[in-house]
A and B are shown apart, each in its own frame.
Chain A
């Protein structure tokens, strides 16, 4: 059973963290993540969630507390944005190497400078290669659902890898949406208690985070790489079983009207919903245009992506971060890598959009598709700049 309610997305996310019976939450306030941690504090202080809320003095310590908590075998949650992620990034890399499962909601916000509290994806792109499973969500329902999915996958004995949910700041965190809340019984059926493989406990002393001399460092990294690349089937299983329980099925690559499409627009996060309106407009005008939304950012779904764009002649990639001096945005780089092995591959055009909270309307997507079609070659451009 489930109940459909109108609720602020941040509150719904916090409610999911409660329903997941989280043991430890460590967080430091940063806009636009605040509503999530504020609500969690309320739940803890009102006795509705039996957890330790550790109000740390920085994000660096937030991630450090999470590392200790997860190593002790506790179900662990944190939440941050932008500068906060940048500050914690040293430890973000460490916990994945140590294979400490935990869940992070990242309320995506641009990185300083200039200081901006608004939304883009430059924060998460700065830790692209950190070894966490990373998904993007498009709406409140998806973030609520992914709290359970994230824990379930991260804590899976075959995975034991931390999990990030990317949630666009403000445009998702601060809006009220209709969300179907699961009954506790459904949550408990889907998400078993965390049973760590190793934990810090006197009964079976282990040393975690030993020093890696050159003779063994590469072997530890190979082991980590192998483990990370083997997470895909377990992520798919997590989604499949969640779908079987709720009827909401998620995929590494979400497609919209890609059948017979000659032009594919690629997005991540909440812009997918905006882009789909443009797709409808263009389809209405007889243009064979479809939409691909990359849900699973790491591990990158190369196979699924190639399948989704099969037959397309033009792929228009929308990045929400800049890779200075690179081939365009970070997403476009990945898309090109995915297509390179194909004998015949579509032309890739890259727009960098929606930086620091800049609005992107459905009509902008129409414009970008038209520009990409009209101008030959592979190129990138920051869209919508006053020249």
Chain B
């Protein structure tokens, strides 16, 4: 929905308060929750895709060449990717660093 939620009036509510725009929550930035962030070292990556599979927040994109990129718009900084990476290509650091 284009309107901020505190400007939505009762007239904007669809019949049965149905939400008819699939996947609209992807506008919601969960990256703001982060206190730590992943740092990716491409050279150590073997392009196995483990991080992609295990990410609970769909915050890892597999690029065309098989390497990955973190999507910090969504990444909550849980550190699973770093923990599960078999080659140590991802480490997790404090947001301030």
Contact = CB atoms under 8 A, between A and B. Distances in A.
Q: Are A and B direct contacts in the complex by CB distance below 8 Å?
A: yes
Contact of A99 (B6, B15, B19): B15
A259 B13 CA distance: 45
A156 to B, nearest CB: 12
Interface in A201-243: 204-208, 210, 212-213, 215-216, 218-220, 222-223, 226-227
A159 to B, nearest CB: 10
A215 B5 contact: yes
Interface string A74-91: 000000000000000000
Nearest to A226: B10
B16 A205 contact: no
B11 interface: yes
A171 interface: no
Contacts of B22: 205-207
B20 A206 contact: yes
Nearest to A210: B19
B2 interface: no
A226 B9 CA distance: 13
B87 to A, nearest CB: 38
Chain B interface size, under 10 / 10 to 19 / 20 to 34 / 35 or more: 10 to 19
Given A215-B6, A226-B10, A220 B18 contact: no
A219 B10 contact: yes
B10 A222 contact: yes
B28 interface: no
Contact of B18 (A198, A212, A213): A198
Nearest to B20: A206
Contacts of A99: 15-16
18 contacts: A97-B16, A97-B17, A99-B16, A100-B16, A160-B15, A206-B18, A206-B20, A206-B22, A207-B18, A208-B16, A210-B19, A212-B17, A215-B6, A219-B12, A220-B10, A222-B13, A223-B10, A226-B10
